């Protein structure tokens, strides 16, 4: 039988390990495409694709300008090659960036890794136009330096401008145009195949009122290569964020009001712990005091030792069908997240609510990327990450929320207990 004492020892390590470790460098993710004499392999950021098969591609090209991108598409068209674009991150979770018949030698990848030099800010018209390969963090920092803010952004900054709009990446907001970045796109350039007389590929400039824009922006890389993206901006602002870790009673009624009341509201639900975490998140004027940031816990570098210990604990508990142990583990996770406010920081650490900071530092994070390589810590997407991340992941529609009431103490529902205690280690949000 699995020993609870051993488990508690592991909890201690899991909780305090990251705090007590003095090493501050992380193992960064390797480039997503690795090539040798026999061709290239596109890797998933989680280590394996959902079909567990490699994505093999005969060749890849790294254009640095829009014209080189056009020539790459022309080459593919002329030679009848299937082509997909991949960013420097390749952080899409499904196998979207893999050309269809990669195994058969008639495909190629176009990488935007080196196509990332231009970020043009139009202060008067509150807009920014960036090369599709520009990283979200670089874009946000440049925009904020100009005294403006990008309103929507996903929680994870390890994405390119082209990749994030192609998949409809989003943060959280029901206000205005909403929290999806593509709804703030006001123009883009798309490179598509063309006739021989046009040089086999051409650049289409799609403006804000063009009906093609809706199709072109969230196109999963299927309609052509997006080369430039123009986004609307707003004057710079700050945000004030507090978390309320509370009972999840009536969550199905409360979340609507919560979303209406707070511009960037979100709710994280830990069903087995009866806990809902309401994020009170709204704009405050630029002169409000505070220089905090949201450095989301899950996107900070993790100790390999802690990650492995956590994974081993979960596996042992699962194989022993130890529901109490899983519930205890879930309690520990929630407790730790509450203690560190999920990664909100007033300064170097979290000292209390509310945390106020510039918009550019309060939505999207990924502090892993700012560390140098070290063998003790790892980032999302680094080689050793996959054993840690292969946990249960579920998406539950808002409309179905009230159909669940899984509780650790509801002993008459052992299956639900196991499933939802496991979920608590990952969360529902």
Ligand X SMILES: Cc1cc2nc3c(=O)[nH]c(=O)nc-3n(C[C@H](O)[C@H](O)[C@H](O)COP(=O)(O)OP(=O)(O)OC[C@H]3O[C@@H](n4cnc5c(N)ncnc54)[C@H](O)[C@@H]3O)c2cc1C
Nearer Cβ to ligand X, position 84 or 238? 84
369: helix, strand or coil: helix
User: Between residues 154 and 422, which has the closer beta carbon with respect to ligand X?
Assistant: 154
Interaction of residue 213 with ligand X, rule CB under 6 A: no
Q: Which of residues 353-392 bind ligand X (CB under 6 A)?
A: 380
Position among 29, 162, 360, 406 found at the interface with ligand X (CB under 6 A): 162
Q: How far apart are CA 273 and CA 42, in angstroms?
A: 39
Q: Closest separation between CB of residue 428 and ligand X, Å?
A: 14
Q: What does DSSP assign to residue 210?
A: -
332 vs 364 by CB, closer to ligand X: 364
Sign of CA dihedral 11, 15, 19, 24: positive
Q: How far is the CB of 221 from ligand X (least distance, A)?
A: 3
Nearest approach in angstroms of CB 264 to ligand X is 12
- Which listed residue (112, 300, 322, 416) binds ligand X by CB under 6 A? 112
- For residue 77, the tally of other CB atoms under 10 A from its CB is 18
Considering the rule CB under 6 A, would residue 166 count as an interface residue with ligand X? Answer: yes
Q: Any bridge partners for residue 378, and if so which?
A: 27, 302
Region of 6-14, 35-43, 92-100, 284-292 interacting with ligand X (CB under 6 A) = 92-100
Quick check: 44 binds ligand X (CB under 6 A)?
Answer: no
Q: Minimal distance in Å, beta carbon 66 to ligand X? A: 11
Burial of 196 (C-beta count, 10 Å sphere; 0-12/13-18/19+): exposed
341: left (phi over 0), alpha (psi -120 to 50) or beta: left
Dihedral pair phi/psi, residue 266, rounded to 5°: -145, 165
Cβ proximity to ligand X, 290 vs 298, nearer residue: 298
Q: Does 169 bind ligand X (CB under 6 A)?
A: yes
Beta-carbon contacts of residue 214 (< 8 Å; ≥ 6 apart): none
Distance in Å, CB of 274 to ligand X, minimum? 25
Q: Is residue 170 at the binding interface for ligand X, with CB under 6 A as the rule?
A: yes
Write the DSSP assignment of 82-145 as a string of letters.
Answer: EEEEE-SS---SSSTTS-TTGGGT-EEEEE-TT----EEEETTTTEEEEETT-BHHHHHHHHHH
The footprint of ligand X (CB under 6 A) covers: 45, 84-87, 89-93, 96-97, 112, 132, 154-156, 159-160, 162-164, 166-167, 169-170, 220-221, 225-226, 380
């Amino acid at each position: 039988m699995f020993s609870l004492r051993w488990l508690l020892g592991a909890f201690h390590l899991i909780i305090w390990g990251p705090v007590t470790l003095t090493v501050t460098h992380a193992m960064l993710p390797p480039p997503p495409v690795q090539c040798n004499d026999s061709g290239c392999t596109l890797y998933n950021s989680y280590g394996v694709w959902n079909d567990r098969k490699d994505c093999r591609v005969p060749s890849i090209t790294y254009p640095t300008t829009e014209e080189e991108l056009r020539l790459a598409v022309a080459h593919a068209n002329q030679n009848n090659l299937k082509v997909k674009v991949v960013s420097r991150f390749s952080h899409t979770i499904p196998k979207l960036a893999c050309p269809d018949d990669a195994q058969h030698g008639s495909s190629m990848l176009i990488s935007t890794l080196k196509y990332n030099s231009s970020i043009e800010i139009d202060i008067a018209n509150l807009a920014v136009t960036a090369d599709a390969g520009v990283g979200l963090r670089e874009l946000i920092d440049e925009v904020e330096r100009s005294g403006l803010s990008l309103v929507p952004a996903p929680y994870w900054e390890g994405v390119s401008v082209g990749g994030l709009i192609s998949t409809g990446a989003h943060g959280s907001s029901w206000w205005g145009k909403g929290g999806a970045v593509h709804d703030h796109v006001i123009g883009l350039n798309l490179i598509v195949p063309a006739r021989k007389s046009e040089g086999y590929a051409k650049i289409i400039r799609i403006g804000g009122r063009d009906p093609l824009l809706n199709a072109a922006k969230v196109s999963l890389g299927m309609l052509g290569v997006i080369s430039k993206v123009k986004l609307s901006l707003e004057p710079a602002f700050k945000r004030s964020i507090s978390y309320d870790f509370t009972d999840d009673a009536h969550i199905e009624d409360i979340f609507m009001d919560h979303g209406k009341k707070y511009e960037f509201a979100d709710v994280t639900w830990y069903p087995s712990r009866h806990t809902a975490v309401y994020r009170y998140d709204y704009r405050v004027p630029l002169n409000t005091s505070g220089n905090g940031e949201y450095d989301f816990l899950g996107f900070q570098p993790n100790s390999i030792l802690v990650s492995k210990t956590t994974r081993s604990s979960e596996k042992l508990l699962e194989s022993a069908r130890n529901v109490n142990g899983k519930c205890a583990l879930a309690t520990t996770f929630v407790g730790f997240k509450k203690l560190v406010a999920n990664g909100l920081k007033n300064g170097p650490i979290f000292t209390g609510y509310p945390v106020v900071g510039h918009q550019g530092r309060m939505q999207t994070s990924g502090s892993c990327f700012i560390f140098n390589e070290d063998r003790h810590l790892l980032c999302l997407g680094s080689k050793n990450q996959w054993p840690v991340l292969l946990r249960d992941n579920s998406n539950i529609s808002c409309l179905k929320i009230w159909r669940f009431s899984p509780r650790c103490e509801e002993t008459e529902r052992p299956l639900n207990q196991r499933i939802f205690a496991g979920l608590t280690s990952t969360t529902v949000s």
